[in-house]
Amino acid sequence: MSDRKIQISLPSIGEEEWLACKDPLMSGWVTQGPKVALFEKAFAERHGVKHAIAVTSCTTALHLALVGLGIKAGDEVIVPAFTWVATANVVLYCGATPVLVDVDPKTFNIDIEQARARVTEKTRAVIAVHLFGRCADVDALREALPHNVAIVEDAACAAGAELAEGRCAGGLGDVAAFSFHPRKSITTGEGGMVTTNDSVLAERMLQARNHGASISEEQRHAGPRPYLLPEFNLLGFNYRMTDIQGAIGVVQLGKLDELLTEREHWAAWYSEQLADIDCIRTPAPSPSGRHGWQAYVLYIDLDKSPVARNELMSALEELGVSTRPGTHAVHMLGYYKNEYHYQDEDFPNARDCNNQTMAIPLHNRMQADDYQFVVQCIRRIICG
Ligand SMILES: *Cc1c(COP(=O)(O)O)cnc(C)c1O
């Protein structure tokens, strides 16, 4: 056993975030208010989109996006089979049917040909997941799909990521959802953001975020008759972010580029250091854009590896290096397996990614010697 402990992920939060909380706490306006508005404005600017709407998580952001698009019972939404379970769950929240398709094991993103093949007259949207921060090829997807099928970006891992120079996640499809969970590159504890360039869609999502109210609480308080309740003409939810989180978000967003640059540097370093290990495939860099590097995920070739993936993970844990499977295959999870009678081999690439991927530590609280230690430990176990 080693006394060294390198976490898979740690948020980069410090004194500035702590100080930023003072304002909302002392002012007494702690729910969605001026800080959230600032965060939304800065987030929209940074990602080159017209509208950014802060919510409680990426899961609620995705749900709001589907509600805004009017997705309902009887509709189908195409979802990649290798993604976090929330991507598929939100389709069920709308009473619609998630239609799983396989992924490309090189990019971990949706297989566009297979997505095209699964379109029916009931298909209303495709959720393109920018998994681990690598943008899905939304342009190719757009070309492959009929025009009435909306593209929803699951940009949970992709704050600041680009498909191509100047083309940021968040404005690539019709609507996008981001996460500020502590495992993503910037965090507000829990939190999310939905972005779009469509003003009509934005208006519907703004109302649905706040119980379906026709005007926001802030507008009501600032208006001439703050004592009157607004109208409620659609079924909404309470998905509002707190102003404490908004204040933290403003500070975190200000650090995004610095955090991404550091992650880019170490991701490239890992790929260089691990390049000669036969049984490891390092993650494909983005051909023209910018990878968001939410996670650095290896693909282990089990035919060539002297150890199985789980053995490798447990040996690394014992040496003090935390790892995780990249993510899971939705069709192999109990709920989906039981409900839809999926077999593991229904989506063979997703199954293999489920069994053969491994995220190794990459975050902004690591030092150079931590990265060196991770590589040494991997080499010691695999190369002997
Ligand atoms: C993290 C993640 C989510 C969920 O985000 P929350 O903010 O925790 O709801 C959804 N999709 C993907 C691809 C994720 O990585």
pLDDT band of residue 384 (cuts 50, 70, 90) is: confident
Q: What is the spatial distance between Cα 152 and Cα 246, in angstroms, rounded to a whole number?
A: 24
User: What is the domain count for the chain?
Assistant: 2
Q: For residue 68, give Cα distances in angstroms to 11, 60, 208, 265, 381.
A: 31, 12, 8, 38, 50
Q: Which of 181, 183, 294 to mutate to test the pocket of ligand 1 (most atoms within 8 A of CB)?
A: 181
State if residue 245 touches ligand 1 by the CB under 6 angstroms criterion. Answer: no
> Has residue 312 been placed in a domain?
yes
Q: What is the spatial distance between Cα 117 and Cα 102, in angstroms, rounded to a whole number?
A: 11
Q: What is the pTM of this model?
A: 0.97
Domain residues for the domain of 68 are: 15-253
Query: Pairing state of beta strands 357-360 and 296-300?
Result: antiparallel
Q: Are residues 137 and 236 in the same domain?
A: yes
Q: With the C-alpha atoms ordered 228, 230, 235, 240, is the resulting torsion angle positive or negative?
A: negative
pLDDT above 80 (res 60): yes
Phi and psi angles of residue 72, each rounded to the nearest 5 degrees, phi first = -145, 180
Q: Are residues 262 and 302 in the same domain?
A: yes
Instruction: Pick the atom of ligand 1 nearest to 86's CA.
Output: 10
Instruction: Pick the atom of ligand 1 nearest to 62's CA.
Output: 10
Token pair belonging to 151 = 């593209």
In percent, the amount of the chain with pLDDT more than 90 equals 92
pLDDT band of residue 216 (cuts 50, 70, 90) is: confident
> Has residue 109 been placed in a domain?
yes
pLDDT digits (tens, 9 = 90+) for 78-95: 999 999 999 999 999 999
Q: Are residues 241 and 357 in the same domain?
A: no
Q: What is the spatial distance between Cα 293 and Cα 125, in angstroms, rounded to a whole number?
A: 26
213: helix, strand or coil? strand
> Has residue 8 been placed in a domain?
no
Q: Are residues 339 and 202 in the same domain?
A: no
Q: What is the spatial distance between Cα 264 and Cα 40, in angstroms, rounded to a whole number?
A: 25
> Has residue 192 been placed in a domain?
yes
Q: Are residues 307 and 365 in the same domain?
A: yes
CB atoms < 10 A from the CB of 104, how many? 19
Q: Which residues pair with 167 in a beta bridge?
A: 164
301: helix, strand or coil? coil
CATH number at residue 358: 3.90.1150.10
Q: What is the spatial distance between Cα 23 and Cα 36, in angstroms, rounded to a whole number?
A: 12
Mean per-residue pLDDT, 203-217: 92
State if residue 195 touches ligand 1 by the CB under 6 angstroms criterion. Answer: no
Ligand 1 centroid–CA 16 distance in Å is 25
147: helix, strand or coil? coil
pLDDT above 80 (res 1): no
> In this structure, what DSSP letter does residue 195 have?
E
Q: Which of 152, 157, 327 to mutate to test the pocket of ligand 1 (most atoms within 8 A of CB)?
A: 157
